[in-house]
């Protein structure tokens, strides 16, 4: 999170303006207000970085507030997952809050509104209320219960709270303006009856406040100075302010709501409803499936908190429609992983190589640098022997000059090892190459300093010594959706665009140093990509997830032909 000379986004401009208009810096307070009805996704990461970033920038507290006013959808599991994700990103909240902490305060204020004639109990069905709401171009009609006496309202509301009615029998409504051009101001609901246990208040309440009534007042109770939410709440601002007007004390901070555009990402969906659908219908293994755009999915995939934060800061925040290209996210993981991931060798699609002039039964240990980008990472020993594995793609019987890899009669360098020359190959009955016979140049050992070792050979291949190789499961992921905007088609369901081949499980050979890798360890498999150890991995059965491939200019060259 850099401060200072960096240009400001429009949200920061708003805060700066308030400050220069005399708002006390010490009174700045922000909040991140998730509803615990699902897991946090990459879009939330943006909002988290915005709010907590503001906290860091101005050294102001940031609350983590759970907007838990709907017991029908919310669960403790989600509260725990959200906390874990925010912590993993590295942010520290000032206070853990729950809208449900304010149920009593909200109830007391509702009584005040009733007494002032600004709220009333409506005893119609939701369908009747909806019918009276009017349309954007015509005014609504007042409810027949709109003019109930204060006494009757008080009595009914009390009875609602005491559980004397069934769900849907009555609601509490604010009395505002049935003719407002803003539909939300046409006597919005403040409370509904819900006979459901709440994850925190259990059965203490059977009436629950609606979002609009709870949110602004919660901000006010917590003395949040700036309440940032997404654009679809822009119309709610008038109501947010109206509710605040009813309770605000001039000596206290009056929260200010402002809206920004939510981030959309190419080739995925970020709607909790749709993500839940992917989980429930089994398109993925769970909320933390590495293909999910959830924070927990990205974590399991091998993304780092730093890369997510850098990504969020790079895409910034604004008010216009947007679709952020996933390649930008991939750039940021690569950028970070390039610095921190130890390089190792793993062969994903093995082809056997026999060094015919290397003594049978002999082995030697070669020194290998752990990370050319980080000297402090040190080096390790790698076993070398007569039989090796290389990638199938790295050998061709014949190829043109652009192919820098191994071909019959051609030479390549084995990374950290020797220069070898392909002499012949054997094939099975179907013509598939099953083995390549090579000779090696014993004087060409990497790092030996000999004239032969200094020879320039165009290609360098990664490899694994066959007798020392450790087998491992490798999970290769591709985008979950084939379409750039799967939920951007009015007449087609986003599930139609699911990529059936988004997960490919293969068996690979990895170098023996990987035997001790534990879940969440990250590596660069040289020349192939970044991988991390899956949570299901054990010492008996290693499992790696591909976080992201390396940039592959060879693939581009091939595509052109």
Partner RNA sequence: UGGCCUAUGGUGUAAUUGGCAACACAGCUGGUUUUGGUCCAGUCGUUCUAGGUUCGAGUCCUAGUAGGCCAACCA
- Report residue 150 as tokens: 């204060």
Q: Taking Cα atoms as reference points, which of 85, 345, 348, 64 lies closest to residue 218?
A: 64
Catalytic one of 175, 262, 334, 405: 262
Rule CB under 7 A: is residue 8 a binding residue for RNA?
yes
Q: For residue 486, what are its two tokens?
A: 């799967």
Site for RNA in 266-305 (CB under 7 A): none
Give CA–CA dist 269/497, Å, rounded: 11
Q: Which of 12, 35, 75, 238 is catalytic?
A: 35
324 binds RNA (CB under 7 A): yes
Q: Is 35 a catalytic residue?
A: yes
29 in catalytic set: no
Q: Which two tokens stand for residue 324?
A: 């952020």
CB 223 within 8 A of CB 206: no
Residue from 136, 282, 361, 431 that binds RNA (CB under 7 A)?
136
The verdict on whether residue 152 carries a ligand-binding annotation is no
Crossing angle of the two packed helices 76-89 and 42-58, in degrees rounded to 10? 60
Closer to RNA by CB, 289 or 310: give it. 310
Contact flag: residue 338 with RNA (CB under 7 A): yes
Task: Kindly tell me which of 73 and 84 has the beta carbon lying closer to RNA.
Answer: 73
Whole-angstrom distance, CA of residue 376 vs CA of residue 431: 47
Q: Is residue 402 near RNA by the rule CB under 7 A?
A: yes
Site string for RNA, 68-97 (x = CB under 7 A): -xx-xx------------------------
Contact 8, 20 (CB under 8 A): no
37 assigned ligand-binding residue: yes
Q: Which residues of 269-292 are buried (b: 16+ CB within 10 A; e: fewer)?
A: bbebebbeebbeeebbeebbbbbb
Q: Which two tokens stand for residue 316?
A: 């910034």
User: Which member of 98, 233, 303, 395 binds RNA (CB under 7 A)?
Assistant: 233
- Strand-pair category, 411-414 with 256-260: unpaired
* Residue 358 labeled ligand binder: no
212 is in an annotated binding site: no
Which of 29, 237, 272, 334 does the annotation list as catalytic? 272
Which range binds RNA by CB under 7 A, 147-155, 331-339, 471-479, 510-518? 331-339
Whether 148 sits among the annotated catalytic residues: the reply is no
Nearer to RNA, 383 or 459 (CB): 459
Q: What binding mask, one character per residue, do residues 137-176 give for RNA by CB under 7 A, x or -?
A: x-----------------------------xx--x-----
Which residues within the stretch 437-466 sit at the binding site for RNA (CB under 7 A)? 445-447, 453, 456, 459-460, 462
Query: What binding mask, one character per residue, do residues 511-540 give for RNA by CB under 7 A, x or -?
Result: -------------x-xx-------------
Which residue in the block uniquely carries the two structure tokens 């459901």?
196
Q: What is the DSSP code string of 144-198?
A: TTTT--HHHHHHHHHHHHTT-S-TTS-EEEE---TT-SSGGGSS-EEEEE----B
Active site residues: 35, 262, 272
């Amino acid at each position: 999170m850099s401060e200072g000379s960096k240009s400001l986004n429009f949200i920061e401009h708003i805060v700066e303006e308030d400050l220069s208009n005399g708002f006390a810096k010490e009174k700045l307070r922000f909040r991140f207000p998730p509803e615990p009805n699902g897991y946090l996704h990459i879009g939330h990461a943006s909002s988290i970085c915005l709010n907590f970033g503001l906290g860091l920038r101005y050294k102001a507290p940031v609350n983590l507030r759970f907007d838990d006013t709907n017991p029908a959808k919310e669960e403790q599991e989600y509260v725990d997952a959200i906390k874990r994700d925010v912590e993993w990103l590295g942010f520290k909240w000032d206070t853990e809050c729950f809208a449900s902490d304010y149920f009593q305060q909200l109830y007391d204020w509702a009584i005040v509104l009733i007494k002032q004639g600004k709220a009333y109990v409506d005893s119609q069905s939701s369908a009747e209320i909806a019918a009276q709401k009017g349309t954007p171009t015509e005014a609504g009609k007042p409810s027949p219960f709109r003019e109930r006496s204060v006494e009757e309202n008080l009595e009914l509301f009390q009875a609602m709270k005491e559980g004397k009615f069934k769900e849907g029998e009555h609601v509490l409504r604010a009395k505002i303006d049935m003719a407002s051009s803003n539909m939300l101001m046409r006597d919005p609901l403040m409370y509904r009856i819900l006979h459901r246990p709440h994850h925190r208040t259990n059965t203490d309440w059977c009436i629950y406040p609606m979002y609009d009534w709870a949110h602004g007042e919660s901000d006010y109770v917590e003395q949040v100075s700036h309440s940032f939410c997404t654009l679809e709440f822009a119309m709610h601002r008038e109501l947010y302010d109206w509710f605040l007007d009813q309770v605000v004390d001039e000596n206290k901070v009056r929260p200010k709501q402002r809206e920004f555009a939510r981030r959309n990402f190419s080739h995925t969906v970020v709607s909790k409803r749709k993500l839940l659908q992917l989980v429930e219908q089994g398109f993925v293994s769970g909320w933390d499936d590495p293909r999910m755009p959830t924070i927990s999915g990205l974590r399991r995939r091998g993304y780092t908190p730093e890369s997510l934060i850098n990504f969020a800061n790079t895409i910034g925040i604004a008010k216009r429609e947007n679709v952020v290209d996933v390649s930008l996210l991939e750039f940021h993981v690569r950028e970070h992983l390039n610095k921190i991931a130890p390089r190792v060798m793993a062969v994903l699609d093995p082809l056997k190589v026999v060094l015919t002039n290397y003594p049978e039964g002999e082995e030697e240990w070669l020194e290998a640098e752990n990370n050319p980008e980080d000297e402090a990472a040190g080096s390790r020993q790698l076993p070398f022997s007569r039989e090796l594995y290389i990638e199938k793609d790295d050998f061709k019987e014949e190829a043109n000059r652009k192919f820098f890899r191994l071909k019959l009669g051609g030479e390549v360098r084995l990374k950290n090892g020797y220069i070898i020359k392909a002499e012949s190959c054997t094939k099975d009955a179907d013509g598939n190459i099953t083995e390549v016979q090579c000779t090696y140049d014993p004087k060409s050992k990497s790092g030996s300093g000999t004239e032969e070792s200094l020879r320039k050979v165009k290609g360098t291949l990664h490899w694994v010594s066959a007798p020392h190789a450790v087998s491992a499961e490798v999970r290769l992921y591709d985008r979950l959706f084939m379409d750039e905007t799967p939920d951007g088609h009015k007449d087609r369901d986003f599930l139609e665009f699911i990529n059936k081949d988004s997960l490919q499980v293969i068996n690979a050979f990895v170098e023996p140093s990987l035997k001790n890798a534990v879940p969440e360890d990250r590596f660069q498999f040289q020349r192939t990509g970044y991988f991390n150890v899956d949570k299901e991995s054990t010492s008996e059965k290693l499992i790696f997830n591909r976080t992201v491939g390396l940039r592959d200019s060879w693939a581009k060259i091939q595509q052109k032909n």
